Chain A
């Protein structure tokens, strides 16, 4: 099993890791010849499937394994993030899978060369970060698949995530303050109702015994997806499709705003999918 690559786009990898670490602690990292995929399936409700072509962030990428050149790793995201932060002033960074000489435990070894950019440091400095990982067998991850989602009713490009996030946080606070008995609320977090239509509108709503608030964004784009929503013909353009989400989880998801440039939310009758096209 061999994996070695140099990292050419450190900032994207760092941002991605930082986004993912706000959602879960451990990620399944699947590396194959063309793609790298981070999958998070924490016990909470948000699952993340992030796929990147390996050449967007890596360079000089070499991978080999007995399992058709696929390597599955379980990676602690906070540790990875901490290691990547060391790269801030790196002139060169290399990532490879190896075993620690002393105890044979598998590690992702991140080797960082910082050139003498600091005014007081004259020589080059070599930083090595050893991130403990667990190698997963192909069989153990076979069962993990991206969930099948039905065709979307509506899709819309969301307004800047920072805006939605600050509104979401207010909603969450309102919900906490206004519902003394959370049990009646059906859970410990607030329930937000998100809705959107094909006329460029997106709504966020909080309704409970004490408050009723709603934010409406207008003039958004409805992108042309490859597979046009099948129901477009049947439903009026301004009819809203609704989903209910947990306010806290929604807030966490919105943290990816640091990375994403274009965010598409798709609304389904039973579930919602948020897609990010970053980089």
Chain B
């Protein structure tokens, strides 16, 4: 039976509250991991594309900290025994509510906070007991139910991150104020010695809906504002703006400089900061900034491209891949389908030039890169996509920039290309070869796995083939167009 007991001062309880607020933005569950020398709170979002962990040193952060490991549910590794569990974040937040820890409010301010875990095998419920000892002899007790789980955490190798920067969290908080709440993505890049942060939303709207679009914001900074700036020019990476905002707010509450590590788009990025016995690490999956290609939003105008233009691009990836798989399919068929896709209603002639999209006709690879699925969006329905030959899977990971990010941080890039039938089998394969998790307890068992997907896949078979594979139907596509794609795929499939 493990026992965990710790005592927090009022200001430490405030810190815990701040961390919980931040982590609860990622997941509805918050995980605890107790070890002899530290207590870690962590959260992994539902799509496994973002992970945050706040580690508290047992000696520096707590007034008193006792952890005795038991036998049940405990993994032993090089760092000793541990105890892991998870709690519902809303329940935790209720216990560490801000007004209890607000020292300005004298009447309800707490003086001390005692937390203990009741892990008694003879009793069915597992309890976390939070006792808030307040002024005037008031004692508030919360009993929360927890669930013992095995934790997993991504392993991020900072040595492989070629790009890194550090900035004061105060400054970063100041900059984040400019970003409106509605935009979805946050792009980081470096251009001509200036750092650039951009918020954008991929959703494309038409007509009056345009006015409901989120504001796009860009901030260009002098790199002298950074404590460290070591970033390659022209690399664009994008993460969720909501995640970044939560992290920056939390770092601001600790007033600690934020360090960021990343290598390439499509690979994870880590944000870290440390202050007074609290160490925070956030690992986020990144996407290529589709705007880097300057064509991302031309997606919805694909259908308005002239037929001739589309046919002339006979060597384009998409047509090529269709022909390859369906050699007997007459060219005229694809022509007629293109024609059906014409006729986007042009309700705002004032602002359209004569050839609005010709100047930026997307190549298919850039096209598909803009159709990336948002990290928290549901996975694409599989029947919308052509079943893909398994042999292609390896080659796909070589172009991470154009891959959707459906499966999160740690799964292979091509994970969403599976048909339902072989999904289970494929998952088994991943478990053996590619899943890169540190579940702590069994680190010894899998010593070779230490890095999150920071390697390049072996050999690419055929550029055009893999681009053809990437064809997906975006969330903002018109129904008629979805049907068209579907019917095309049916033709491909039957051949």
Point out residues on A near B: beta carbons under 8 Å: 1, 26, 74-76, 79, 82-83, 86, 99-107, 118, 120-137
Contacts and interface: CB of A to CB of B under 8 A. Distances in A.
B98 to A, nearest CB: 25
Contacts of B212: 76, 132
A125 B220 contact: yes
Given A102-B294, A104-B357, A135-B348, A130 B225 contact: no
A83 B216 CA distance: 10
A76 B221 CA distance: 28
A123 B224 contact: yes
Given A123-B225, A127-B178, A104 B356 contact: yes
Nearest to A25: B211
Contact of B221 (A123, A135, A137): A123
Question: From DSSP, what is the main secondary structure of chain B's interface residues?
Answer: mixed
Contacts of B295: 102
Interface stretch (B168-176, B373-381, B405-413, B447-455): B168-176
Contacts of B308: none
Contacts of A75: 211
A17 to B, nearest CB: 14
Contacts of A136: 350
Contacts of A137: 350
A130 B295 CA distance: 17
A-B interface, 3 closest residue pairs, ranked by CB to CB distance from nearest = A123-B222, A103-B297, A130-B216
Contacts of B298: 102-103
Given A127-B178, A135-B351, A122 B224 contact: yes
B115 interface: no
A131 B405 CA distance: 28
Interface in B191-227: 204, 208, 210-213, 215-225
Contacts of B217: 86, 127-130
Contacts of B123: none
Contact of A130 (B215, B223, B351): B215
Interface string B347-368: 0101110001100000000000
B352 A104 contact: yes
Given A121-B225, A127-B178, A134-B348, A83 B215 contact: yes
Given A120-B171, A132-B213, 9 more contacts: A76-B212, A104-B357, A118-B174, A123-B221, A123-B223, A125-B219, A130-B217, A132-B210, A133-B210
Contacts of B177: 86
A134 B216 contact: no
Nearest to B215: A79
Interface residues of B, number: 37
B296 interface: yes
B208 A129 contact: no
A82 B215 contact: yes
B171 A76 contact: no
B181 to A, nearest CB: 9
Given A105-B213, A127-B219, A129-B217, A121 B348 contact: no
A104 B298 CA distance: 8
B277 interface: no
B175 A125 contact: yes
B252 to A, nearest CB: 13
B225 A122 contact: yes
A121 B172 CA distance: 10
B493 interface: no
6 contacts: A26-B211, A76-B212, A121-B174, A128-B218, A128-B219, A132-B211
B222 A79 contact: no
A255 B316 CA distance: 58
Q: Which of B174, B210, B357 has the most CB of A within 10 A?
A: B210
Given A86-B178, A105-B210, A120-B168, A131 B215 contact: yes
Interface string B216-245: 111111111100000000000000000000
B314 interface: no
B203 to A, nearest CB: 11
Given A106-B351, A122-B224, A129 B171 contact: no
A130 B216 CA distance: 5
A102 B178 CA distance: 21
Contacts of A102: 291, 294-298
B476 to A, nearest CB: 11
Contacts of A82: 180, 215
B347 to A, nearest CB: 10
Contact of B211 (A76, A83, A125): A76
B82 to A, nearest CB: 39
Contacts of A74: 211
A86 B212 CA distance: 20
Nearest to A72: B350
Contacts of A126: 218-221
B336 to A, nearest CB: 28
Nearest to A82: B180
A135 B211 contact: no
A124 B216 contact: no
A136 B295 CA distance: 26
Nearest to A125: B221
Contacts of B294: 101-102
Contact of B216 (A99, A100, A121, A123): A100
Contacts of A123: 221-225
Contacts of A127: 178, 217-220
A83 to B, nearest CB: 6
Contacts of B178: 86, 127, 129
A107 B348 CA distance: 14
Contacts of A133: 210-211
A82 to B, nearest CB: 5
A120 B175 CA distance: 12
B212 to A, nearest CB: 7
B220 to A, nearest CB: 4
B452 to A, nearest CB: 30
A84 B404 CA distance: 35
Contacts of B210: 105-106, 132-134
B223 to A, nearest CB: 8
A137 B171 CA distance: 43
Contact of B215 (A103, A104, A132): A132
Contacts of B168: 120
A76 B210 CA distance: 10
Contact of A134 (B174, B211, B225, B291): B211
Contacts of B221: 123, 125-126
Interface in B244-299: 291, 294-298
Contact of B222 (A106, A124, A135): A124
A129 B215 contact: yes
A125 B225 CA distance: 9
Interface in B141-172: 168, 170-171
A99 B224 contact: no
Contacts of A135: 348, 350-351
